[in-house]
Amino acid sequence: MKIQNANEAEEYVVKHLGIPFVNFKGINLDIVREIIVALESVFNEFPALKNSICAIGKPIDIEYQMTLLYHSSKMHQEQFIEHGSIPFEDIFDERVENIAKAYIYGDSTGAIIYTGIQLNGWQDKNITLEKFDNYYRRRNAEGYTPTNCNRSKNIIVHEIGHLMEWILKLRAKPKFKLLIENVDIEREISGCAAVSEDEIIPEAFARLLVHRWRTK
């Protein structure tokens, strides 16, 4: 993959990864390449996920595209669910709400019509892949992320985990109840997963994939 600028990266993602709305402008190119590697790696493991993500990029574009979809859809009652924020203030002095968020847009029947990953802090001009990775190494050492999930690209895997959970309604499955009743979430999954039930499946998903990639 030879990607020299944001335009080429966007074209690649649209053409090869099947995500129609992409905006990587203003994001460090090394980070963009890592995002693409993360998306590709997840899609290789779960090809069915390949056409299930509608957007990745800047929040303003995600919201714009969602507004368009909202107005063009024939929904009776709409709901907008937002999940997956990660505290960002630890990295830089200026407060940015979060790094990345998974977004989903559904109707009253529970049908999902739109999914996306919003990239926030990734666009900070001072950010480098090294800085991002150092931050995640530290968080991993503290037990906040699952074993060996010490690279910033694991954030993308985590966000896809949120989307997958919603698409497949994984929390309604009996296995999920078994998991939360029988597993020491903090020890077996991560500190992040122990903070909120919302974070259990995304963290378990990141843990599973990173383990698979390491043992291949």
Question: Which residues in this chain contact Zn ion in the complex, by CB under 5 A?
Answer: 84, 199, 202
Q: Which residue lies nearer to Zn ion by CB, 84 or 146?
A: 84
- Does residue 78 contact residue 107 with C-beta atoms inside 8 Å? yes
Smallest distance, Zn ion to C-beta of residue 158, A = 5
Min. distance of Cβ 86 from Zn ion in angstroms? 7
Cβ-based burial of 195 (10 A; exposed 0-12, middle 13-18, buried ≥19): middle
Alpha-carbon span 112 to 109, nearest angstrom: 9
State which residue, 8 or 85, has the beta carbon closest to Zn ion.
85
- The alpha carbon of residue 61 and the mean position of all alpha carbons in its chain are separated, in whole angstroms, by 16
The residue among 133 and 199 lying less far from Zn ion, judged by its C-beta, is 199
CB of 9 to Zn ion, least distance (A): 24
Q: Are 55 and 61 in contact (CB under 8 A)?
A: yes
Q: Which residue is nearest to Zn ion (CB)?
A: 84
From residue 36, how far is each of 16, 41, 78, 134, 156 by CA, in Å?
Answer: 10, 8, 31, 19, 9
Q: Are 157 and 207 in contact (CB under 8 A)?
A: no
> CB 104 → Zn ion: shortest distance, Å?
12
In the complex with Zn ion, which residue's Cβ is closer, 10 or 199? 199
**Min CB(84)–Zn ion separation in Å:** 4
Is 117 within 8 Å of 160 (Cβ atoms)? Answer: yes
Nearest CB to Zn ion, comparing residues 57 and 84? 84
In angstroms, give the least distance from the CB of 162 to Zn ion: 5
User: For residue 21, which of 118, 86, 100, 105 has the smallest C-alpha distance?
Assistant: 118
Select 29 or 87, whichever has its Cβ closest to Zn ion.
87
